[in-house]
């Protein structure tokens, strides 16, 4: 732990609060997994990505059409 030397901290150790969603964060690796998570068809999810900027990441250098998404986004 770091010691906070400011007037506010008065030398007490500082802690960063844990990120609650980190435990429930999951990586979805295929269109099928993303669609199942959202309860939609694959084509619908692909349309959401194209038209509504659904945060899906395309993997560079990977196989044709490889994607990745996080459940927290």
**What pLDDT, on the 0 to 100 scale, is given for residue 62?**
64
Q: What is the pLDDT of residues 1-41, one digit of tens each?
A: 555 554 555 555 555 455 554 556 788 988 999 899 999 99
Find out whether 48 and 42 touch, Cβ atoms under 8 Å.
no
- Residue 6: inside a domain, yes or no? no
Q: Is the four-CA dihedral 45, 60, 73, 53 of positive or negative sign?
A: negative
How crowded is residue 29: how many other Cβ atoms within 10 Å of its Cβ?
Answer: 13
- Residue 9: inside a domain, yes or no? no
Residue 30: give the domain boundaries. Answer: 25-73
- At 33, list the tokens: 């997994």
Q: What is the pLDDT of residues 42-72, one digit of tens each?
A: 999 999 989 988 888 888 776 677 888 888 7
**What is the number of domains present in the chain?**
1
- Residue 46: inside a domain, yes or no? yes
Give the separation between CA 67 and CA 34, rounded to whole angstroms.
9
């Amino acid at each position: 732990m770091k010691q906070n030397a400011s007037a506010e901290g008065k030398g007490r150790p500082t802690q960063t609060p844990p990120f609650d969603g980190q435990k429930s964060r999951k990586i979805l690796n295929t269109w099928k997994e993303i669609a199942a998570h959202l309860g939609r068809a694959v084509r619908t999810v692909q349309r959401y990505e194209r038209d509504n900027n659904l945060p899906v990441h395309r993997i560079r250098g990977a196989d044709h059409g490889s994607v990745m998404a996080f459940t927290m986004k």
